[in-house]
């Protein structure tokens, strides 16, 4: 097994591992906001899988498409996570801002 | 089975807990699971196109990523208004 083969296996395993961790986190966390944190590893996994394709294939059309997909997921996943958190707070409390009944203390400056 | 097919199979298996969350938990939890399911499906399609050496099939993954982004934004809007 060559060095590039080992790199492909390692990157692929790390990428799929990140996706599985995201899946387990979303399945077993307590509430929506805890679950949202686990969308981060899923975008990272996309980057690792695209890197694995690059290492195996070199510059080619599928490598370019994998890079495009990873870049799109890297931008869209945090955007959607933010929008979902905002919408969940509006759904729960009526407003996304801090509410008095939440008793969140903020240090005054 | 090649390593790409095994990776794609693992990602497709990871869709099952997402489906369970969509069916059994609240709307907001289901929305988070839907986002992850979109990412998993995109990557599984990409890996399958790599495994079968059919690079035009990778376009499906790109189109799915764009459509799942738009679709999830629509559901986010519903969640916001569903008080």
The yes-or-no verdict on residue A40 having pLDDT over 70 is: yes
* Residues, chain A: 109
**For residue A15, what pLDDT is reported?**
96
Flag if A84 and B32 touch (Cβ within 8 Å). Answer: yes
At residue A103, does pLDDT exceed 90?
Answer: no
Question: How many domains does one find in chain A?
Answer: 1
C-alpha of B7 from chain center? 15
Q: List the single residue in A36, A66, A72 with the smallest CB-CB distance to B32.
A: A36
Burial A5-44 (b: 16+ CB within 10 A, else e): eeebbebbbbbbebbbbbbebbbebeebbebbebbebbbb
Q: Do A22 and B7 touch (CB under 8 A)?
A: no
- Kindly determine whether residue A77 and residue B35, on different chains, have CB atoms separated by under 8 Å: yes
Within a domain: A101: no
Task: Give yes or no for residue A72 having a pLDDT over 90.
Answer: yes
Mean model confidence pLDDT for chain B: 93
**B73 contact residues in A (CB cutoff 8 A):** 80, 83
A102 belongs to a structural domain: no
Confidence of residue A97 (pLDDT cuts 50, 70, 90): confident
Confidence of residue A46 (pLDDT cuts 50, 70, 90): very high
Angstrom CA distances, A61 to A48, A73, A85, B2, B5, stand at: 18, 18, 36, 20, 19
Write out the two tokens for A40. Answer: 């981060």
User: Taking residues A68-78, what's their average pLDDT?
Assistant: 95
Per-residue pLDDT, A73: 95
Phi-psi region of A105 (alpha: psi -120 to 50; beta: other; left: phi over 0): beta
Please give the pLDDT value at position B63.
Answer: 96
Instruction: Point out the residue among B10, B31, B39 whose CB comes nearest to the CB of A73.
Output: B39
| A20–B28 C-beta distance less than 8 A | no
Q: Would an 8 Å CB–CB cutoff place A18 in contact with chain B?
A: no
Domain that holds residue A54: 3-96
> Is A104 contained in some domain?
no
- A27 pLDDT band, cuts 50/70/90, is very high
Q: What is the pLDDT of residues B19-42, one digit of tens each?
A: 999 999 999 999 999 999 999 999
Nearest CA to B33 out of A25, A96, A79, A74 is that of A25
Predicted local distance difference test score (pLDDT) of residue A95: 83
Task: Provide mean pLDDT across the span A19-26.
Answer: 95
Residue A65 lies in a domain: yes
Annotated domain spans of chain B = 3-81
- Residue B42: the pLDDT is 95
- Residue A108 covered by a domain: no
Interface of A with B in 19-78 (CB under 8 A): 19-20, 22-24, 26-27, 31-32, 35-36, 38-39, 42-43, 45-46, 49, 53, 57, 60-62, 65-66, 68-69, 72-73, 76-77
A-chain residues near B36 (CB < 8 A): 22-23, 26, 38-39, 42
Tell me if B45 sits within 8 A of B57, measured CB to CB: yes
Q: How far is B28 from chain A (nearest CA, A)?
A: 6
Q: Does domain B3-81 have CATH number 3.30.450?
A: no
pLDDT of residue B83: 64
């Amino acid at each position: 097994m060559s060095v590039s083969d080992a790199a492909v296996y390692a990157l692929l395993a790390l990428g799929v591992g990140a996706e599985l961790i995201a899946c387990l986190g979303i399945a077993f966390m307590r509430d929506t906001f805890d679950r949202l944190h686990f969308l981060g590893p899923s975008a990272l996994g996309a980057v690792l899988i695209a890197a694995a394709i690059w290492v195996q294939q070199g510059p080619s059309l599928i490598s370019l498409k994998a890079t495009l997909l990873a870049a799109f997921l890297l931008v869209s996943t945090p955007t959607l996570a933010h929008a979902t958190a905002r919408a969940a707070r509006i759904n729960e409390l009526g407003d996304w801002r801090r509410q008095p009944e939440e008793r969140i203390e903020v240090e005054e400056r | 089975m090649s390593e790409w097919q095994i990776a794609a199979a693992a990602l497709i298996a990871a869709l099952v807990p997402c489906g369970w969350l969509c069916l059994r938990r609240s709307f907001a939890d289901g929305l988070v699971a839907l986002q992850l399911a979109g990412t998993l499906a995109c990557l599984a399609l990409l890996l399958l196109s790599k495994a079968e050496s059919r690079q035009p099939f990778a376009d499906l993954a790109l189109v799915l990523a764009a459509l799942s982004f738009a679709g999830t934004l629509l559901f986010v809007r519903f969640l916001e208004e569903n008080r």
